[in-house]
Amino acid sequence: MVLPFGGKPALAAPTLAPSDPHEARDIVVNIKTRQFDPATLSLQSGEKVRLILRNQDVELHAFVPISLFQNATLQVSGNGAPEFGPQGLLRILLPSKGQTEILFVPQQPGTYPFLCDLPGHVMNGTVVVQE
């Protein structure tokens, strides 16, 4: 097992930031004409990632990750509005022309869907975390 952050196990608290944000790999997802682009993201388990969500539409969108951020340490910045629950990050509302950055380290390999849950929006994507 490879432990992130200088050998210390990752904690479940969503407010803890990864130790050095400058080493992260940037992954940009543009939101345009009610689509996530790209819709499939390929991440590596244990790598530090800065997920950058850019809403280029003139309407509000939401980023709703399913299970991806459970037990992950993360840091959210930008002008989106994040909502947290007991399991961590639930949803981010992205204003028109807004941008949000999520700094985190994916842990558990698997396939994690995400979507926009605003009424009438059929917008889906997938994060694949590889071993």
Separation of alpha carbons 53 and 63, rounded Å: 8
Between β-strands 49-55 and 25-32, what pairing exists: parallel, antiparallel or unpaired? Answer: parallel
Q: Counting contacts by CB under 5 A, is residue 54 touching Cu ion?
A: no
Identity of the residue, 25 or 32, whose beta carbon is nearer to Cu ion in the bound complex: 32
The tokens describing 41, both together, are 């993201």
Q: How far is the CB of 124 from Cu ion (least distance, A)?
A: 10
Residues 68-127 within binding reach of Cu ion (CB under 5 A): 116, 118, 121, 123
The tokens describing 48, both together, are 């530090």
Identity of the residue, 29 or 116, whose beta carbon is nearer to Cu ion in the bound complex: 116
Stretch that binds Cu ion, among 15-23, 57-65, 77-85, 90-98 (CB under 5 A): 57-65
Question: In Å, what is the CA distance from 82 to each residue of 89, 92, 100, 115?
Answer: 7, 4, 9, 15
- Fill in the amino acid letter for 112: Y
Stretch that binds Cu ion, among 20-28, 46-54, 60-68, 73-81 (CB under 5 A): 60-68
List contacts with Cu ion (CB under 5 A). 61, 116, 118, 121, 123
